[in-house]
Chain A
Amino acid sequence: MGLPKIKQDATEARLSALDLPGGEGWTRAAREDALSRLQAAGLPHKRDEYWRYTDPRSLVEAEPPMAEALPEGDEGPIFGAHERLRIVFNDGQFDADASDDLSLEGIEIERLSQAAGADLHWARDLYGTLETRGQTPVARPLATLNTAFAQDGILIRVTGRPSKPVSLIYNHISDSSDVFLHHCVKVESGAELTLLENGAAAARLNTVLEVEIADTGKFHHVRAQGRDHARRAATAIFTRLGRESVFKSFTLTVNGALTRNECVIELTGDDAVAHVAGACVGDGDFHHDDTVFITHDAQNCESRQVFKKVLRNGATGVFRGKILVKKDAQKTDGYQISQSLLLDGDSQFLAKPELEIYADDVACSHGSTSGAIDEDALFYLRSRGVPEPLAQDLLVLSFLAEALAEIDDETIAEDLIARLEGWLARRRG
């Protein structure tokens, strides 16, 4: 059966505005494969069940809505004080002058746009592979679109324990930039990497991050999504974990008209651990969607999802999180919590937690709440002389604390808290 006409038209309209990036070799083959998969699946439409709470139109249409970049220096750089290997993209264009030398002991770094001719068998095996696996049971066509049209990205093979994190910095320059970046990380057995991402990146950003973690490998990811008000972003992380491996990802989102962060995790080796967490704050024209799908397909694995959203002036938060425990995934420990703090009656939080369990010896829990500021706590703070607006802000940070505690590195967490404090202070005036 073909696609519904409305989907087919939208997909064709989008594709007609894009050209497959040049180059021959293995990347070309992967792109062509993605293109044909996309033509079969079609781009998302708001009538799709998976897009029920988030209208994908502005992520799909050929022309990105305009989004102004906040002036430089409007806020201190995040992760600025950390020793890190910096890789800078301006509207998705690699900036060699602003970036550090791409060599570091314990890892190999290549750029996707340079990789076509190189014999990077590990990258060839990974690029688009986890994204393809992540299409079942739910299609994620924006990620497929990315695999086909990614302008650039970073390919990292981790063989040791590099002395510092790799830091991807995304500057947003043009009001109409439309950017696809696709990164692949292969963490070899026993190796360990921390990846940082920050910046608004573009008026419209589409990123895919594929992370394959071999037995006993560790991958930490901390992301601060840029705070330009009108920017839009659709991001997808696909990861597959081997035995005793660890994946931890945290995302802070401040502002942005539309953000859809998908995370697809497959636990395929026993005793693996996957944590994914996020905190967001939004005011007014802000729509933030976390969509997570975790598959337990091995024994004694742990997964944890912690998402907190602070919403005001009609902002919308969405959470969809699913834990699928396959028949043989005994001793699974799955935890999921999604909470929103609604600072006024106009904001809304839509949550759909799901559990699907086929094993009989598992411990899975999930919870979702929506609430206002705790009046007792507010009075307590005010009775100590803290003015109401400041007391409210302390309680917002208090609400977000459980999510922020998911970040292992305290100094990185402090950077993110400082950004939140800045956001709150600006609203306090």
Chain B
Amino acid sequence: MLEIKNLHVKLEEEDKQILKGVDLKVEAGKVHAIMGPNGSGKSTLSYVLSGRDGYEVTDGSAELDGAEILELDPEERAAAGLFLAFQYPVEIPGVGNMTFLRTAVNAQRKARGEEELSSGEFLKVVREKAKSLKIDADMLKRPVNVGFSGGEKKRNEILQMAMLEPRMCILDETDSGLDVDAMKLVADGVNALRDEGRAFLVITHYQRLLDHIKPDVVHIMADGRIVKTGGPELALEVEKNGYSDILNEVA
């Protein structure tokens, strides 16, 4: 589904290389986790894949279902089925959460040449999905993420994911700032979306999220590269011994 080859990325504004040759292949139906110390390039990878400004790809490629995505606008990547759950979801005062969701869903449908959803159909779907994430009518009515707690913001990200039904989901430190209950709720939301046709790339510092979202493959990222790949046991190893052992081992 997602295939990244030899990806090199530097900051646009300064001469600083962040990604130094990332190779990664995520198959449909699988959950891959990327772990790594601060500054290893995990979040940069998620931003570059989703099309944020400020980065320059100096080499390599990233393909979604065989089609290059690095040249596409963020909205085109979204319409192609890519979704990034933000580490820090953005507050947008004055735009109702529901309006935002409906605009996004219909924009993607339009881009794919599908019928837009009527407000009745949309309401029905959104209510059902919101309920399972414990998002009440008030949260749907309020401006996007304004005054939301950390947990509410992350649940709102998962609601967007559930509504947009992307095929490739990237979760950027979705566990940061969550207590155990909130993390469980978010993980349940993600697990409900696990499907043969959908893949996940879960970026996290800690193993604990992976207790709830069980990965098939775990990668360790350091200094802009994937330095080790293994099964779920790799995450447990990190939890137990920290990153330094692994990094020393591969150095």
Contacts and interface: CB of A to CB of B under 8 A. Distances in A.
Contacts of A386: 75, 103-104, 107
A402 to B, nearest CB: 7
B94 A398 contact: yes
Given A390-B107, A394-B100, A394-B103, A382 B73 contact: yes
Given A385-B107, A385-B108, A386-B75, A380 B90 contact: yes
Contacts, number: 85
Interface residues of A, number: 26
B80 to A, nearest CB: 9
Interface in B156-211: 160, 164
Contacts of A399: 94
Given A379-B53, A398-B95, A384 B90 contact: no
B94 A401 contact: yes
Contacts of B78: 382-385
A384 B78 CA distance: 6
A376 interface: yes
B74 A401 contact: no
Contacts of B92: 377, 380-381, 394-395, 398
A387 to B, nearest CB: 5
Nearest to A399: B94
A292 interface: no
Nearest to B166: A385
Contact of A380 (B73, B86, B107, B164): B86
Candidate in B90, B94, B103, B160 with the most chain A CB atoms within 10 angstroms:
B94
Nearest to A387: B75
Given A388-B75, A390-B103, A401-B143, A383 B93 contact: no
A409 interface: no
A375 interface: yes
Contact of B93 (A376, A385, A388, A401): A401
Contact of B53 (A375, A384, A398): A375
Contact of A385 (B90, B94, B143, B164): B164
A325 interface: no
Interface in B76-95: 77-79, 83-84, 86, 89-95
A402 B74 contact: no
Contacts of A376: 90
A1 B80 CA distance: 75
Contacts of A405: 94
A159 to B, nearest CB: 38
B104 A384 contact: yes
A357 interface: no
Given A379-B74, A385-B78, A394 B86 contact: no
Contacts of A388: 73, 75
Interface in B116-146: 143
A397 interface: yes
B104 A385 contact: yes
B25 interface: no
B51 interface: yes
A168 interface: no
Given A390-B107, A394-B103, A383 B143 contact: no
A390 B73 CA distance: 14
Interface string B43-68: 00000001111000000000000000
Interface in A394-414: 394-395, 397-402, 404-405
A401 B100 CA distance: 15
Contacts of B73: 382, 388
Given A399-B94, A401-B94, A385 B111 contact: yes
Contacts of B86: 380, 383
Contacts of A391: 75
A400 B75 contact: no
A383 B52 CA distance: 8
B193 to A, nearest CB: 16
Contacts of A394: 92, 95, 99-100, 103
A383 B95 CA distance: 16
A336 B111 CA distance: 43
Nearest to B84: A383
Interface string A207-248: 000000000000000000000000000000000000000000
A404 to B, nearest CB: 8
A306 to B, nearest CB: 13
Nearest to A397: B94
A405 B95 CA distance: 12
Q: Which 8 A-B pairs have the closest CB atoms?
A: A401-B94, A385-B78, A385-B108, A382-B74, A384-B104, A398-B94, A380-B90, A382-B75
Given A382-B73, A397-B95, 9 more contacts: A376-B90, A380-B86, A381-B104, A385-B75, A386-B104, A391-B75, A394-B103, A400-B94, A401-B143
29 contacts: A374-B90, A375-B53, A380-B92, A381-B100, A381-B104, A382-B73, A382-B75, A383-B74, A383-B75, A383-B77, A383-B83, A383-B84, A383-B86, A384-B104, A384-B107, A384-B160, A385-B79, A385-B107, A385-B108, A386-B75, A386-B107, A387-B75, A394-B92, A394-B103, A395-B92, A397-B95, A398-B93, A401-B93, A405-B94
